[in-house]
Every structure is written in structure tokens, then in C-alpha cells.
A and B are shown apart, each in its own frame.
Chain A
Amino acid sequence: MFLLDSLQEILFTLRQNKLRTILTAFGVFWGIFMLIMLLGAGRGLQNGAESGFTSNVRDSVWLWTGKTSIPYQGLPINRQVRYTEDDIEAIRREIPGVKIVSGENPLGSVNGGDTLITYGKRSGNFGVFGVADDYFSIKANLDFHAGRPLNAMDNAESRKVAMIGTLVRDRLFPGENPVGQFVRINGISFRIVGLFYDEERQGQASERLYVPFSVYQKTFGKGENYVRIITYQPKPGYDPFEVEQEVVALLQQRHNVAPEDRRGIRSNNFVEASQATEALFAAINAFIWFVGIGTLMAGIVGISNIMMITVKERTVEIGVRKALGARPRQIVAALLFESILVTALAGYAGLVCGVGLLELIQFIMRSLHIQNDFFERPEVDLALAVQAIAILVIAGALAGFAPAWRAANISPVEAMRE
């Protein structure tokens, strides 16, 4: 009851100093609002850059082949190199720095997209990939909408099963659950076990079907054991560039390619790119924190200034209140409670508006289907924002405490003489 009364007394004094109250509140509001916008924008940039990435683990390495460009050990140039399943085995066996190794065989061109798939009367051209064991440990960032990924048993038992992408589903099974249905790939029937979405290339990588490697080799591979693309992930703790050199050297040796020949064995290491972007993110983050902490500091300085002015302005009032029986602690508590009330409410308003605006931006981007590699899903860590407000409130209270305490302890006579 008395707490409510004190609150009314404080609200009353705040109303008397409307302009000052509004200015203080606006300073805090703006600080928190800008901090949230900054954090949200930073996260948006990061999300945007990440979605431009791949559905593969960040540090994956992909190896493909070409024609030799240097004569070696009596072999002529322009010889087409072809990996085999034995190469995968050899890498797994001989390179200790490799954690996972797998391979894929695209039917048709390397990017796929030209194999006729039919379901009943519907049909479309999509990419078909035979994938070896552990493939989905490297292409690890697929979203499964239904069913399951392919597994080692599918491969070992040569099951005629397939995982299809969401774009395939949209064409062949509009509005239906495809899992359990049979599609024909070049006329051969496969049972669908999983439905995935791959965000790589804005979802275009979802125009694919994956089938077990063993089945692929038997049905589309003409009985050979060639592998078009080998992929691996280095073990943590190993230098990824050294591991890459070892793998390339091993493959060069197995296929009689000159060590200095860059054409026969080709590799693409995503480690470099991922390290560069990680450095960029770190820089963006550091910048955001620099600006954010600056904003917070400005807010704190603003609050302390206002508190000092408030106390100065109200010295006579404090003296009168003391003469009438206010205890020093009551004076300090009233002044601090005022500052805490204003900062907390204004900070909360800044939080709500900031998060609201970020949500609105997201909503607009979603409804207008704005997609790009620069900016996506601006979000903010709520816990972080609440912490920022708490820091501001506490700092404001601490900053106000010294002048309030001094004012509350000068003698009422001196105070009233001001």
C-alpha cells in the first residue's frame, strides 16, 4: 500500500519535469533501440552470408578429375583421370588426417538436372546422384521434411530407394506426401524414403534425387566402379591444407599424375573460404560491439548527467523534505527509484520497438520473397538485449547514487539556502 503511495509520489515528480523525463527516457530508448538494430543488422549480414554458403560442412574438400597436362612416367598428356571406389578406400586407409571420406556420381552432367523422372503421368528432369556411405555426414546441413536420409544398410543391401528434394516433390507430388511412393528414374523404379530441402543456391540444390552408391553403380554405372567426385572432411587438429596436399599426392601417385600437374587431380578446399568469412564475421561482430558499447556508454553518461542536474535542481526541495522529516535514505531511494523507473521503462520500450522493427523487416522480406546473399533474417539475442538494459539501469543507478547521497546528507539549512 505504502509502496503504491511512493510510486504515485515519484510519478508525480516525474510529471512535473516532463521535458527532462522525456529527454532522459528518449536517450535510453534510443541507445537500446540502436543497439538492437545494430545487433540485428549484424546477425542479418551473417545469416545472409551463411545462406550463400553450402549445405556441406564448412571445411569439406571436394576432388574431381581432368585431363593430364604433363607427360609422366612414359604416359602421354591429355589422359583422362578417373577415380574409383578403391581411391576412397585408399584415402580412408592411408591419410590419418581425414575424418570422413565419401563420393558421389552424378547421372549425366556434374550438376545434374537432366535425368527424366516419372511418377504416374507426371514427369520432370532432375539431377540423380549416387552417393557413397557417410555422404550425408559431409552434406550435413539438409533439412528433412519427411522420412529419413539414406544409410549404410541401403548401400550394403543395394536397396532401390531414393531421397528426393522439395522441388522434385513440388513437380511430381503436388500436395502429397511422397514418402513410400515409387518414382521411375530412367524407367527403373525407386521407393522414396526421404524428403529434404537444401538451401544451397537458393534451394536449387533441392532439384535432386539421391540414391545409394551400390545401386547407382549397378543400374546406371554399367558395372564399373568409377567415382566422379570424392569428398572428405579433415580431422580437427590437423592442418587442413597439409591434409589436402597429402590426399592430392596420394591420388596423383595412384593415377600416375605428375606432382606438378594441376589439371589431372583437382581439388576445391572450402576451408579457405570459410576462414575468410569467419574472419569477416569476427570483424563485423567486433565493430557492432564497439559501436554498441559506445552507444551504451553514451546512454550511461546521459543518465548520470541528468541525475546530477536533477539533484542540483532539487536541492531546495530536498532540504525542505528533510526539514519535514524525510530520512536521507528515503531521499536517495526516491531519486534512484526515479532514475531506475525511467531507464527500465525506456529501455524496455526500446527493446520492444527494436525487436518489433526487426520482426517487421523479416515479415516484409518474407512476404515480398526478398532473398539475397547479403542480408537475411535479422534477429537479436533477447537475453543479450535484456542484459544491455540491466547494465544501463544499474549504471544509471550507480551514476545517480553519488550525487543523490551527497544531496541527501547536506544539512537542510544549507540546502534551503541554495
Chain B
Amino acid sequence: MITLKGIHKSYGERDRRLHVLKGIDLSVAPGEMVAIMGSSGSGKSTLLNLLGLLDHADEGEYLLDGKEVGRLTENQAAAMRNRKLGFVFQAFNLLPFKNAVENVALPLYYQKVGRRERNKRAEHFLELVGLSERRLHKPNELSGGQKQRVAIARALVTDPAILLADEPTGALDSQTTDDIMDLFKQVHGMGKALVIVTHEADIAAQTERTITLKDGRIATDTAHEPAHVSA
């Protein structure tokens, strides 16, 4: 599904250049649920941005679905993000002036799907995340957990193969965190690959594989049984 080979990434000007990723080799199989851990500054967000085609690597190869995607043009990357990837952010990043259905439907707008069809599919995914009765509410009328559910529905609406989540529970309390993690497991059950960046060990423990970054390199890469958290 995803294969990274020898990925390097630096930021900043010449004399103050920050080498963030120093040769990452990684592959994620279809339907796998992976956590990326690491302390702040370890490069985990950068890695996720590269995986999400939100940024370019300086060096190395990125194969997505067997195709080299590391050197795509901005337009090609946009199309690829739209069709193959779903994003979930810590800050939810819903558009404040759109209601839940319209937020979920937005990625379909960029696929030129008609309004009626968009809303139909959006409502289906809102139902899936359990927010049908809140479908006409604006983000400021929703709780944090509800917002993240809307965001997950939005990530799923284009039926991508991979979901990328950046600290998806970072802004949520523990009860809500558990709910969201249950939802992620449900998504995983649908056969999607999931990559979750987190700094919380108990989040990582609920996945099947934990990759730890340290200083721009992969320190550990362990497969394990997902821990069950009692609700």
C-alpha cells in the first residue's frame, strides 16, 4: 500500500537548516492499523505530511499503491489526496460556516459530484459515525468529539484506502478519546489502512503496530495485538 525508501527532509535556510527526517524506510500494508509515536521534534508530523502528500521529501522514494508519488505536481497531488487519502486533524479543521453534512460533502465537491449525490453520500457517512440527528448543525454547535466524528466522516466520504490522523484525540477528554478510538477500530474493520500519529502510549497500544521515531530515524517498529479498552 505505502512504501517509503530512504526519505530525507530538511527545513529552513542554509545555515540554520534543520534535518528532520534522516532516511526513513517504511511500508504499510493494506488494512493495517499503525501508530507513529515519538517525542515532539522527532519528525512524526513531518512524516505524516509526506505520507499525506501535503509536503515533498527532499530525497527518497514514495510509492503509493505501487505508483511513485514523491514528485507529483501540485494538481496531481491534490487529485491523489482527494481520491486515495483521508485526513483527520487534531484541530478538526471543519469549515465553520458549513453544517455537518456540507462539511462531510466538501471533498466530493472537488470530485465534481453533484450536490444532491454529495449530500446523500455525506448523510450516509454521518449515520455511520452516529451523528445523523446533528447533520444540520454548524461546528460551533457540536462538542469536540462530535466535531471529530464529522471530520472522520469527511475523511471517509471519498472512500479512500488510507486514513491519516494527526493527534486525532489530542484535543479530547479521555471518555471521548475512547469513543473516537472505537470509531477508528470500526473504520479499520471496513478494511481501511490507518496511520495515527500520537504521543500517547495507550492510543498506540490500541493499534496493531507501533513505530517509534527518534531524531528523524525509526527507533523501533513493533507489531502487537491491539489492547482492548473497556468502555
Please determine whether chains A and B interact with each other in the same assembly: yes
Nearest Cβ in chain B — how far from A91, in angstroms?
Answer: 81
What does the 1/0 interface line of B85-129 toward A look like (CB < 8 Å)?
001010101110110000000110111101100000000000000
Q: Are B78 and A9 in contact (CB under 8 A)?
A: no
B83 contact from A325, A327, A409, A411, Cβ within 8 A: A325
Hey, which chain A residues are within 8 Å of B78, CB to CB? 322, 325-328
Q: Are B110 and A13 in contact (CB under 8 A)?
A: no
A328 contact from B75, B98, B114, B158, Cβ within 8 A: B75
Nearest Cβ in chain A — how far from B139, in angstroms?
Answer: 12
Nearest Cβ in chain B — how far from A414, in angstroms?
Answer: 9
What does the 1/0 interface line of A179-196 toward B look like (CB < 8 Å)?
000000000000000000
Bound together, the chains give a CA A326 to CA B106 distance in angstroms of 10
Q: Are B54 and A324 in contact (CB under 8 A)?
A: no
Nearest Cβ in chain B — how far from A313, in angstroms?
Answer: 11
> Which residues A11-35 have CB closer than 8 A to chain B?
12-13, 16
Nearest Cβ in chain B — how far from A386, in angstroms?
Answer: 34
Q: Are A325 and B82 in contact (CB under 8 A)?
A: yes
Hey, which chain A residues are within 8 Å of B94, CB to CB? 320
Bound together, the chains give a CA A369 to CA B64 distance in angstroms of 82
Q: Are B87 and A323 in contact (CB under 8 A)?
A: yes
| Residue count of chain A within 8 Å CB distance of chain B | 27
With A8-B115, A323-B81, A330-B110 in contact, is A13–B93 under 8 Å at CB? no
Hey, which chain A residues are within 8 Å of B87, CB to CB? 323-324
Q: Are A317 and B110 in contact (CB under 8 A)?
A: no
Closest to A17 in B: B97
Nearest Cβ in chain A — how far from B162, in angstroms?
Answer: 14
Question: Does A201 count as interface, using CB distance less than 8 angstroms?
Answer: no
Scoring A324, A327, A412, A413 by chain B CB atoms within 10 A of each residue's CB, the highest score goes to: A324
Q: Are B93 and A326 in contact (CB under 8 A)?
A: no
Hey, which chain A residues are within 8 Å of B115, CB to CB? 5, 8
Bound together, the chains give a CA A8 to CA B116 distance in angstroms of 13
Hey, which chain A residues are within 8 Å of B106, CB to CB? 321, 324
Would you call the interface of chain A mostly helix, strand, loop, or mixed? Answer: helix
Q: Are A324 and B110 in contact (CB under 8 A)?
A: yes
Hey, which chain B residues are within 8 Å of A324, CB to CB? 81-82, 87, 106-107, 110, 154
Question: Does A390 count as interface, using CB distance less than 8 angstroms?
Answer: no
Q: Are B89 and A416 in contact (CB under 8 A)?
A: yes
Q: Are B75 and A16 in contact (CB under 8 A)?
A: no
Hey, which chain B residues are within 8 Å of A330, CB to CB? 110
Q: Are B74 and A325 in contact (CB under 8 A)?
A: no
Question: Does A368 count as interface, using CB distance less than 8 angstroms?
Answer: no
With A412-B54, A413-B55 in contact, is A325–B114 under 8 Å at CB? no
What does the 1/0 interface line of B62-88 toward A look like (CB < 8 Å)?
000000000000110011011100010
Nearest Cβ in chain A — how far from B103, in angstroms?
Answer: 9
Hey, which chain B residues are within 8 Å of A1, CB to CB? 114
Scoring B78, B79, B112, B114 by chain A CB atoms within 10 A of each residue's CB, the highest score goes to: B78
Residue pairs across A and B with Cβ atoms less than 8 A apart, 21 shown, are: A5-B109, A5-B115, A16-B97, A316-B93, A320-B93, A320-B95, A321-B106, A323-B52, A323-B93, A324-B106, A324-B154, A325-B78, A325-B83, A327-B79, A328-B74, A328-B75, A411-B49, A413-B49, A413-B54, A413-B55, A416-B89
* Chain B residues within 8 Å of A, Cβ to Cβ: 49, 52, 54-55, 74-75, 78-79, 81-83, 87, 89, 91, 93-95, 97-98, 106-107, 109-112, 114-115, 154, 158
9 smallest CB-CB distances across A and B, nearest first, come from A325-B82, A16-B97, A325-B110, A324-B107, A327-B78, A320-B93, A327-B75, A413-B54, A412-B54
Extra A-B contacts (11), CB below 8 Å, given A317-B95, A320-B94, A325-B158:
A5-B115, A322-B78, A325-B78, A326-B110, A327-B110, A329-B75, A330-B110, A411-B49, A411-B55, A412-B54, A416-B89
